[in-house]
Amino acid sequence: MAAMEQTGMVPVFYHADIEVAKKVLKACYDGGVRAFEFTNRGDFAQEVFKEIVKYANKELPGMIVGIGSVVDPGTAALYLQLGANFVVGPLFNPEIAPICNRRLVPYCPGCGTVSEVGKAQELGCDLCKVFPGDVLGPKFVKGLRAPMPWSRLMVTGGVKPEKENLKGWFDAGVTCVGMGSNLFPKEVIAAGEWEKITALCSDALAIIKEIRNK
């Protein structure tokens, strides 16, 4: 939670190749990222996740690795066993909350209504994910936080590493943003140009810092 809040950005990534995933994780780390979400989106994703958690623990001090795209408690439990430091979902499943709470691991459920955020908070979700962000927009965040100013929100979907876009979200009151494809262009991954990912992360974090300091 602290890493998410301090940096303000959580890269969201999946790849079936363990070595590619490690290279991307290292590139993000070099760019200043300290909280990274690997998504549970492909066959044997858990095997890739297991290896990148081991890699981060050994080679990338201070990097917090969590799992995303979790929709059921069984999957959450599996990834907790593999070392997930936080669990993110595209939806809110109340059955996942006790699984994570028992291990004191943050559960960040995907919420699309004020009522969902409220219910998630009741069940101990300190950070809720506003999803899909490109549909709901910054006005949703601002409107929600007016009567519920204690709410800590991470938005995913529709977030770009551009000043105007990021300013809209942070001015609305998000705690942090989740960013996927815009940080990881397919052609850059295919070419193995890891320094470009480092630069994209570094630039995005610099923009967030500038916005927050104003």
213 lies in a domain? no
214 lies in a domain? no
DSSP state of 71: -
Q: Enumerate residues 6+ apart whose C-beta is below 8 A from 36.
A: 10, 11, 13, 25, 28, 29, 56, 63, 64, 65, 66
5 pLDDT band, cuts 50/70/90, is very high
Q: Using one digit for the tens of pLDDT, what is the confidence trace for 102-114?
A: 999 999 999 999 9
| Average pLDDT score over residue span 142-164 | 97
189 lies in a domain? yes
CATH number for 6: 3.20.20.70
| Average pLDDT score over residue span 94-121 | 98
Provide, rounded to the nearest whole percent, the portion of the chain with pLDDT above 90: 99
| Average pLDDT score over residue span 71-86 | 98
202 lies in a domain? yes
132 lies in a domain? yes
Its domain, for residue 152, covers 2-208
The domain total for the chain is: 1
Spatial separation of the C-alpha atoms in residues 155 and 143, rounded to whole Å? 14
Question: Which three-class secondary structure state does DSSP give residue 68?
Answer: strand
